Amino acid sequence: MIGISKRHIYALLLFLGSFQISAGEDLSSHIINNLLTGGKKSPYPTSIHKNYAVVSIDSLSFGNTNSGSTALVNFKKKDVSKTQFEKKGNKWIYTSEEPIPLQRFEQNDFIDFIQRFSSNKKFQINHTVFPFPINTMNGKEQTKRKLVMPRDWNHLPLSDTYPQLLLFKATTDGGNRKFIIIKDKEIKEEYNFIRINKQWYLIEKYEYE
């Protein structure tokens, strides 16, 4: 695909469960638009504008709130940049950024999990539900589905492959996470995790043609 169209932006927002037809723009729409188009006013480094990973928490919608935050986790530097936005009229404005150590981040349990999941093959197998479904999608249509068993498993070094991770709704809310891979302005993969008895598990994958 050359460039980015509104259709692809809307597809991404619908996919993440956040797009709303309303007066004004919700925070997730504002950030996704900036990231996908490499907007000059984006507070995020240009290195993540093209290929990056996003984690969403249940829903990206901020409802009628007038403020919101995201967090950019850097696994290599072991720190987090919490970015604050405020809504002025119908527009979201980037207002401030606060760097904090990774160990003080309120979502540190999931971040710790992803790092261990990425580096420890046995741990990854034990925290993946088998038979593991891999769904191939063309738009909203499923074109293929296969089930993978542990003997055929290919290790996923997620935090090494994507050393910068953007989290929406930087809170500890909810018992599920969507780890979404975006390459060249298109969604390519989605990994769904759920929390059971305080433990995170990978339950399914979607691949997008």
In the chain, the percentage of residues whose pLDDT exceeds 90 is 27
CA distance 88 to 91: 5
Closest CA to 30 of 82, 85, 73, 99: 85
Lowest mean pLDDT among 92-101, 128-137, 162-171: 162-171
Residue with tokens 């741990």: 123
Query: Which amino acid, 109?
Result: D
pLDDT in tens, 37-68: 555 555 565 555 556 677 765 444 444 456 67
The percent of residues in the chain predicted with pLDDT above 70, rounded, is: 65
Token couple for 166: 């953007």
| Contact in structure between 28 and 60 (CB atoms under 8 Å) | yes
**Average pLDDT, integer, range 77-101:** 80
**Alpha-carbon span 102 to 13, nearest angstrom:** 28
Q: How far apart are CA 201 and CA 69, in angstroms?
A: 26
Alpha carbons 31 and 35: distance in angstroms, whole number = 6
